[in-house]
Amino acid sequence: MVLVVVGVRPETTLAAEAGAALGVKGAIAVDRGMRTQLPGVLAAGDCIVTHHRLLGDTYLPLGSTAHKQGRVAGENALGGQRQFAGSLGTQVVKIFEQAAARTGLRDHEAAAAGFDPVTVGSQADDHKAYYPGSHRITMRFTGDRGTGRLLGVQLFGHRHAEIAKRIDIAATAIFHGMTVDAVSDLDLSYTPPLGSPWDAIQIGAQDWVRAAQRH
């Protein structure tokens, strides 16, 4: 199988001809309320600049992001004052019987954004290995060396290993500015058929903390 990934470009011809300002990669420039510089004109979705919580303005067309932006634009079109909270680029994709997911920044992205990243790889089972049907999850955690702040997580494992939901834990932690170490304090559910006393995400966080202490 050959996969050709060519990316996407925003279709902004109409907006540009109407006088709307363009921003990153030619996407329509909007404020956090989805307002363009044109009076009374709001924009949302794959054609606009996206506010990233760690990077600032970027171009990141995702369906989940578009829905959030659409809600902001709709409320504000009716006189509301909702603000787009920002994206972390949280994504998941099924690859045959595997799943890959990411949220936040990878090592080189964090460095380019001015952080001092430490990236640590680790593995853990999706549930207790003595219970049948367990799968290994491969993880990569990126945190800031000085502050310990969690910056990004990538996961890869079997599609039954709850990869999508586990990346959502990491996305929530990054959204709220948590440190990597604080992830171990989260009160996550446990039963042997479905998890472990330390969830895989928490094991990855603990591996990062130990490795960062050695740097």
Q: What is the pLDDT along the chain (215 residues), one digit of tens a residue?
A: 898 888 889 999 999 999 999 999 999 999 999 999 999 999 999 999 999 999 999 999 999 999 999 999 999 999 999 999 999 999 999 999 999 999 999 999 999 999 999 999 999 999 999 999 999 999 999 999 999 999 999 999 999 999 999 999 999 999 999 999 999 999 999 999 999 999 999 999 999 999 998 86
Give per-residue pLDDT as tens, 137-193.
999 999 999 999 999 999 999 999 999 999 999 999 999 999 999 999 999 999 999
d(CA 198, CA 63) in angstroms, rounded, equals 32
CATH of 91-214, one of 3.50.50.60, 2.40.40.20, 3.40.50.2000, 3.30.499.10: 3.50.50.60
Residues of the chain with CATH 3.50.50.60: 13-77, 91-214
Distances (CA, A) of 43 to 22, 50, 118, 125, 138: 12, 11, 37, 43, 38
So what CATH class is 13-77?
alpha beta
Q: Give Cα 70 distance to the centre of its chain.
A: 19
User: What are the backbone angles phi and psi of residue 92, rounded to the nearest 5°?
Assistant: -145, 145
Model confidence, pTM: 0.93
